[in-house]
């Protein structure tokens, strides 16, 4: 009698791949390539033709031979589609765009062109009263964008698809946008890598300046800008370019911070409207406070729902010592003393609130901090001379806060710098940029220190951290105090930028940021525990409502929908660290067990040897 003894086999040998690379649209590969390139070229050519006959639609789309408004977005998207498509075909000189020869970036940009062009046609028809207002150029670009999208999705998939996904249209669509892990990049000289970092920040400055410079009377252009930017960001991610740029910025941290700081300094000189520079200053205030909250939430893992109150404490403390005629104290400190006063006041309140509450965890801590935020707002309302002492002037707040004067430099009047006029908003923008640099430095040093690693340990598992000898309460209180003082630092500048402080500015949720809900969302949206994540999240959450004021009534609804989509498709945030990517996308678990309790791979081995 012969006995069959199962031999040892590797998982890869037993589990053969059953997927294929069939495209979403069944067309020959050669035809798909032609359609992608030809459609993108047609869409690009259509932008040089008139899209409508009247200049009543914002952007003046009536000129032939000179793209404007929404036409520029279609032109940029079509050009990117052509570049990614040629790179995916292995064209020499463009392989660096998609080193693995992938087609998913071209699919993403083709969808962006189709979405932006289709939205433009719909907006023109809605604003002007029908499709009869569309000129041939609009139809040319729309048809070209549709052809390019069909061709892009007819290209072979980059990653083998499981057989189970063949009958699921949504799974097939998502799979068509997937891309394989990019290979190891070719080593470049140091000067070339530094040049790439500088160029990337220059492009980022241009994109940000373009978006913030869109007039609020032209929301159609801003929506189109969001469509193109979103799909282009997806394309760059699928191509692996953002991952490689992240590796370079991690390698040259000092160069990265310097390039970012220089690009940020140049921003106010790119704006011709003082209102846009003011938006930039408010974004920095919002971003700085979000970065301070990132110490509490992102590093220490403490859910704080009343963090905006610390911003209010710093703002009220600075307003009381600013020399305002309505101040109950009647003193005027120099700027450095006002900054220290605001930061110290927030620090004291952080310790006073944190000492009795940080022994709580999870939802209980969140409820207590939410209550503190509401108590602060109500207390500022009651200190009006009637319900309590006359300190804050009640709901009227403290108005007429004078402009700052630093070393004889009055921030309230315009100044000429290298032949460029720097307005009041530009002055405060640069001041807030200096404060942001301080906060970024503090965050970076804290995160890399022994204390920062202890915060991360507490965030991951406080019980295990305590068992390893970490004093959880003391370190959590330190994180709470540090985050509060950083918020107070930003509050001192906010008080002077806005000329006044009122209790209604510091709510848990409202239509105008900053508030606690938007601050927490900025940290989660951008990426917890990172430096650039909260800055990106805060910029998006402040800029989008500022530009789409006509949707103010539906802002919270759209905000909730956006958060649900984010949690579904990118729970680690827009700028995630490696830890979060592993947590949400690479579980490292064994295969799903079958009915007998064995993993599929082990069952396959047993069946193979039986």
- What's 558-607 look like in SS3? HHHHHHHHHHHHCCCCCCCCHHHHHHHHCCCCCCCECCCCCEHHHHHHHH
Q: What letters, b where the CB count within 10 A reaches 16 and e where it falls short, cover 466-477?
A: eeeebebeebbb
Task: Give residue 155's pLDDT.
Answer: 81
Q: What is the DSSP letter of 145?
A: H
Task: Give residue 594's pLDDT.
Answer: 46
Q: Per the structure block, which two tokens stand in for 63?
A: 């000129």
Cβ 321 vs Cβ 327: under 8 Å: yes
Task: Give residue 14's pLDDT.
Answer: 31
Where are the domain boundaries for CATH 1.10.3470 in the chain? 271-576
d(Cα 444, Cα 530) in Å, to the nearest integer? 9
Cβ 293 vs Cβ 520: under 8 Å: yes
Task: Give residue 161's pLDDT.
Answer: 56
Tell me, which fold does domain 271-576 have in CATH?
ABC transporter involved in vitamin B12 uptake, BtuC (1.10.3470)
Task: Give residue 73's pLDDT.
Answer: 92
Task: Give residue 529's pLDDT.
Answer: 77
Cβ 556 vs Cβ 511: under 8 Å: yes
d(Cα 66, Cα 72) in Å, to the nearest integer? 9
Cβ 492 vs Cβ 338: under 8 Å: yes
d(Cα 303, Cα 333) in Å, to the nearest integer? 35
Cβ 540 vs Cβ 548: under 8 Å: no
Cβ 187 vs Cβ 171: under 8 Å: no
DSSP helix/strand/coil, 371: helix
The total of other beta-carbon atoms located within 10 Å of residue 590's CB is 12
Task: Give residue 610's pLDDT.
Answer: 40
Which of 143, 114, 336, 108 minimizes the C-alpha distance to 224? Answer: 114
Task: Give residue 323's pLDDT.
Answer: 81
Task: Give residue 20's pLDDT.
Answer: 53
pTM of the predicted model, to two decimals? 0.79
Start-to-end CA span in the chain (Å): 15
338-388 per-position pLDDT tens digit: 889 989 999 998 888 888 888 877 778 888 888 888 888 888 888 877 877
d(Cα 126, Cα 146) in Å, to the nearest integer? 21
Cβ 557 vs Cβ 548: under 8 Å: no
d(Cα 367, Cα 113) in Å, to the nearest integer? 45
Which of 145, 112, 139 minimizes the C-alpha distance to 51? Answer: 139
Residue ranges in the chain whose pLDDT is less than 70: 1-24, 90, 92-93, 99-101, 157-186, 510-513, 577-610
Task: Give residue 535's pLDDT.
Answer: 86
Q: What is the mean pLDDT of the chain?
A: 80
């Amino acid at each position: 009698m012969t006995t069959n003894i199962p031999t040892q086999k590797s998982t890869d040998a037993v589990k053969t791949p059953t997927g294929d690379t069939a495209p979403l649209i069944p067309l020959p590969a050669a035809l798909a390539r032609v359609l992608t390139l030809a459609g993108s070229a047609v869409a690009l050519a259509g932008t040089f033709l008139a899209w409508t006959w009247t200049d009543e639609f914002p952007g003046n789309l009536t000129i032939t031979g000179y793209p404007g408004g929404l036409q520029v977005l279609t032109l940029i998207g079509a050009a990117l589609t052509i570049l990614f498509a040629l790179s995916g075909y292995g064209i020499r000189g463009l392989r660096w765009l998609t080193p693995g020869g992938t087609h998913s970036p071209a699919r993403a940009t083709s969808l962006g062109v189709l979405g932006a062009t289709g939205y433009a046609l719909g907006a023109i028809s809605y604003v002007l009263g029908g499709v009869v207002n569309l000129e041939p150029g609009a139809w040319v670009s729309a048809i070209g964008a549709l052809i390019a999208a069909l061709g892009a999705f007819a290209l072979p998939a980059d990653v083998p698809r499981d057989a189970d996904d063949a009958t699921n249209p949504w799974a097939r669509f998502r799979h068509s946008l997937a891309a394989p892990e990019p290979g190891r990049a070719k080593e470049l000289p140091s000067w070339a890598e530094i040049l790439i970092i500088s160029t990337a920040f220059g492009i980022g400055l241009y994109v940000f300046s373009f978006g913030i410079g869109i007039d609020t009377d032209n929301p159609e252009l801003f929506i189109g800008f969001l469509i193109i930017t979103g799909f282009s960001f997806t394309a760059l991610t699928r191509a692996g370019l953002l991952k490689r740029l992240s590796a370079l910025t991690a390698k040259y941290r000092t160069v990265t911070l310097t390039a970012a700081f220089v690009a940020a300094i140049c921003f106010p000189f790119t704006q011709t409207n003082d209102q846009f520079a003011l938006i930039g200053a408010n974004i920095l205030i919002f971003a700085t406070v979000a970065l301070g909250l990132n110490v509490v939430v992102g590093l220490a893992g403490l859910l704080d729902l009343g963090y905006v109150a610390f911003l209010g404490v710093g703002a009220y403390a600075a307003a009381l010592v600013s020399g305002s005629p309505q101040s109950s104290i009647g003193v005027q400190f120099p700027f450095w003393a006002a900054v220290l006063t605001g930061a110290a006041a927030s620090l004291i309140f952080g310790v006073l609130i944190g000492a009795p509450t940080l022994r709580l965890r999870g939802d209980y801590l969140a409820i207590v901090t939410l209550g503190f935020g509401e108590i602060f707002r109500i207390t500022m309302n009651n200190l009006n001379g009637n319900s309590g002492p006359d300190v804050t002037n009640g709901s009227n707040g403290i108005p007429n806060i004078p402009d700052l004067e630093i070393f004889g430099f009055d921030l309230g009047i315009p100044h000429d710098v290298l032949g460029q006029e720097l307005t009041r908003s530009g002055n405060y923008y640069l001041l807030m940029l200096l404060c942001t640099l301080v906060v970024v430095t503090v965050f970076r040093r804290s995160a890399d220190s022994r204390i920062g690693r202890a915060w991360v340990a507490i965030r991951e598992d406080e019980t295990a951290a305590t068992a390893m000898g970490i004093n959880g309460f003391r370190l959590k209180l330190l994180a709470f105090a540090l985050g509060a003082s950083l918020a107070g630092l930003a509050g001192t500048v906010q008080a002077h930028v806005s000329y006044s402080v009122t209790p209604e500015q510091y709510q848990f949720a409202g239509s105008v940021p900053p508030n606690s809900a938007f601050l927490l969302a900025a940290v989660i949206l951008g990426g917890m525990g990172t430096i650039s994540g909260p800055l990106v999240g805060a910029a998006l959450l402040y800029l989008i409502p500022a530009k789409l004021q006509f949707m103010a009534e539906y802002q919270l609804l759209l905000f909730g929908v956006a958060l649900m989509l984010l949690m579904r498709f990118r729970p680690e945030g827009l700028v995630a660290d490696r830890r979060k990517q592993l947590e949400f996308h690479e579980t490292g678990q064994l295969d799903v067990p079958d009915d007998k309790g064995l993993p599929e791979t082990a069952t396959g081995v047993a069946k193979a040897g039986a």
